[in-house]
Structure 1
């Protein structure tokens, strides 16, 4: 009886915890968001302190270039100019993508300009002057670049002479061979309705083509990111959260579909841009997802260490120069397609410098071991955006060279500082 009375008294005095009102919960949610932002900022600062700057600097430079020229001339970001820009980056961009493979070894290929001109000259002379079917002349032109690159790669791998010396000799040799192939024909004009000419003047006018490419590209990126995340998680390795993967994919989707919208407002999706993106994506998969690609990165980290790990150093070095020669040949054909002619001035030194600058500006390290094929795309966008902006604002070409040189110097400095920071943290 007494126990029952005590229990009743306890019930009367006990108060139930009040359910917090929605307004009371909001500050907690706000603090959670603030903590998430603080964590992201802290992680970003840690990456910067260890030299892992990624592609952020070049993205900021590209944004600054676009904002500057758009403020000077409102036609810079017009659909017409952006469409022309997307085609103009392809020829030199393909050459730069091939150079990424060489730079990953910590080496340099100085012959790509001459090889690109040689391939275009072989194609033009066979097709226009000798009546060889266009598709066959095209294959022979590309094979000429592959053979030239393979010869240089074999020489580099077997003699152990630095690649820039071997390819400097190649620059002179292939340029002389190009002049010999052209002979007395100082300039060969291509058929404006031919297969090669269509590489840069054909557009998919159906809106679905550009939007379809954007959707497929974004979907593949998300799928590969998701599979990579699951593989890393299963191996108990550091991995991105699913939310972060979704946010990154969403940002890419905005860029892709905005680009598709702008292209459709002019002439549609350029065939040249489609081929360029497919080639870059395939080579990116080869570099980052295959045994051969891992060997390339390993050689960039140290040839002697790779040799002690029983890697076939000579074979990889030969293959890398062969890839560079092949991509130089393909790029040369796109450049010839753009102007529908091949001349003794093709493959000039400016082409070589722009290709090297595109790869380095995009984030490929001159010290080897760091970079992707997409870095060449970003670098080429910066260089061609500067050239396009200078042309549309009637700025002298001399200023263009100075600005491009300044951007290249800044990229090299950032690369050097990043490497020093990584070495200090034991990451290089």
Structure 2
């Protein structure tokens, strides 16, 4: 009996979830009111579709919710999601999750009401996204940062340019540098392809490289890269919807935040709801105005307007005016794949952030955490070694790991180990594996 998952809403978030979950051969049924959207998804993915309103009993029954291990209500309407989740639970679904907009629902006391009604989890893409942005600002030297084992192990991504000492070196030649003892390169993104490096792989100009290290060596990565850690103090945000507000609220306690929005009334409202941020009314597409408001003194620029194009273009202008860290929110899948090649430091998409968070909940067996990377179809999967099997009897090189996967790091108690071919796993280790989709079945075999 596999896992049956029903997803209500086949928009970006539903589509992304279906993609991630279909890698794991789960049985997926998608509900949406729009036949065209469903046809598009089923032409790309191996899923069943049901057309109709997810709050209707008849539609939920056709989607077989009574046998669902999980129902994910992720349409763009909060009310539809809540009603769908409530009904699905009553009809027999094991677990239900609803996507919401209203942040007060997520406060502990209020969350309890939803749990009492049978909704297991509420998820707010905006909240998750603002948390991710905060994380990116905290670790601004890197484009991405993932932590495992409560922060014991870090995986960071950064684009290398011509000036970098690693460029044109083979991976095996970096071994002579003592810093590389506790740091390893585990993946390279080049021309939108993900490369799992071998010793003979040559690092090229404009490669986007992922390093793995334990917490205390993350600083050394900057040393390898010949970069100084920049302290972010001043941040400019453009935009004014929920996303901009939530992010400003999260940042204003620690940073000096300036928020620019073009709607006068909305600016009044934002100023009332933010304690420490400076709210400015003006047209953020006008770069002269942004310069007048201090753009060139900013350490970070967050473009969070409704338009992906505006966000990308203003971020590039900010970069040209010397801003150290730029983050642009984009709404369409198409843009995410090109982020590293266009020169914006980081692109973020709240639906993808939320879909990644949900797939973590759903990984089965000994998998603890999963992180996806923007524009990369590979992901990090954390396996717990909980059985006494051949995995712990042989060194790694004898386990016949697929070429498209690599063990990035191992957490053993409080220790973080960066393994090589002679390394042997032990009981209760947590192994963090970086894998392309086609490695999944082989990995299941090794770790189960």
Q: Which has the higher contact order (CA 8 A, sep 6+)?
A: 1
More helix by share: 1
Larger Rg: 1
Give me the TM-score of the superposition, normalised by structure 2: 0.23
Give me the TM-score of the superposition, normalised by structure 1: 0.24
